[in-house]
């Protein structure tokens, strides 16, 4: 039986969260940003001075971290020990740490359980790196979103400038290439396209075009699977 949810995977900066949010809005599904959960976990590790190389400390800490998701005015709020950490998890430092800690099996086990629980409660549009392959293998519609490193760095630069963060295109290209390397080559749940995922390269497409393609893909898949939509 297929799960009435959409799994969106892809590398950093491919446009997953913007697109996933729009698709969820259109369908009345809940949007779950799993990257934010890995970021909150990285923040917890930083606050508790846990080194990624100290396996025992990482295992103990990730069991203590209380990470959850709430919704305010339709937007996802990521809570760490009940505190909204949205404003603290978008720095380059936390991006790097989230990528490093997300390679840890205990961290992944903890967050995957939470993500699967959310999808059992309600239809979701969930984005991340392992959603189609590990978290929601039965999702009726799976999308692999990608874009060139240059385009992804340009998008990040725009976001950073809007936030007032000083970065350069070269720095961001390097940072993105390093994260791709780590996310795609880690031993546990590396980023890869699920065999039954539809590949969408967003380099030359507008947000509206990508959203429409995913909606069409979902409607076709849901109809073939006999789901009522
Ligand atoms: O999507 P993002 O940039 O917010 O994700 C932050 C990091 O978390 C990213 O480098 C990889 C990791 N991540 C993961 O391993 N699995 C997921 N489902 C989501 C994110």
Q: Domain extents for the chain?
A: 1-29+124-222, 32-122
Question: CA dist 86 to 14, 30, 33, Å?
Answer: 20, 17, 11
Q: Which contiguous run of DSSP H or E holds residue 85?
A: none
Q: Where are the beta strands (DSSP E) in the chain?
A: 3-9, 30-33, 67-72, 75-80, 83-84, 124-128, 139-146, 198-201
Which has the closest alpha carbon to 204: 154, 156, 163, 148?
148
Output the CATH code of domain 1-29+124-222.
3.40.50.300
pLDDT of residue 50: 98
Q: Which atom of ligand 1 is nearest to the CA of 115?
A: 18
Domains 1-29+124-222 and 32-122 share a fold: yes
Q: Supply the pLDDT for residue 165.
A: 86
Q: Is the pLDDT of residue 74 over 80?
A: no
CA–centroid distance, residue 10 to ligand 1 (Å): 9
* CB of 35 shorter than 6 A to ligand 1: yes
**Three-state DSSP class for residue 135:** helix
The string of pLDDT tens digits covering residues 190-226 is 999 999 999 999 999 999 999 999 999 999 999 999 9
**Cβ atoms 186, 134 nearer than 8 A:** no
Architecture of domain 32-122: 3-Layer(aba) Sandwich (3.40)
pLDDT of residue 177: 94
What number is the average pLDDT over the span 175-182?
92
- Summarised one tens digit per residue, pLDDT across range 132-163 is 999 999 999 999 999 999 999 999 999 889 98
Q: Whose CA is nearest to atom 15 of ligand 1?
A: 102
Instruction: Give the C-alpha distances (Å, rounded to integers) separating 220 from 15, 62, 124, 132, 213.
Output: 23, 39, 17, 17, 11
Average pLDDT of the chain?
95
Residue 86 has pLDDT above 80, yes or no: yes
76 lines ligand 1 (CB under 6 A): no
Nearest to 145 by CA among 196, 219, 203: 203
């Amino acid at each position: 039986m297929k799960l009435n949810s959409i799994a969106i995977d892809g590398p950093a900066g491919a446009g997953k969260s913007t697109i996933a949010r729009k698709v969820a809005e259109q369908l009345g599904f809940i949007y779950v940003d799993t990257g934010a959960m890995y970021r909150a976990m990285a923040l917890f590790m930083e606050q508790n001075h846990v080194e990624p190389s100290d396996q025992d400390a990482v295992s103990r800490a990730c069991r203590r971290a209380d990470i959850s998701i709430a919704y305010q005015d339709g937007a996802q709020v990521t809570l760490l020990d009940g505190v909204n950490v949205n404003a603290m998890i978008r720095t380059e430092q936390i991006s790097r740490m989230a990528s490093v800690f997300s390679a840890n099996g205990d961290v992944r086990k903890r967050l995957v359980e939470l993500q699967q629980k959310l999808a059992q409660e309600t239809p979701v549009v969930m984005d991340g790196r392992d959603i189609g392959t590990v978290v929601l293998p039965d999702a009726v519609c799976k999308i692999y979103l990608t874009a060139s490193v240059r385009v992804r760095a340009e998008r990040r630069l725009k976001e950073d400038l809007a936030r007032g963060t000083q970065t350069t295109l070269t720095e961001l290209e390097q940072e993105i290439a390093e994260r791709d390397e780590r996310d795609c080559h880690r031993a546990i749940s590396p980023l890869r396209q699920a065999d039954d995922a539809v590949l969408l390269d967003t380099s030359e497409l507008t947000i509206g075009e990508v959203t429409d393609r995913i909606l069409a893909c979902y409607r076709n898949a849901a109809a073939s699977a006999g789901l009522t939509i």
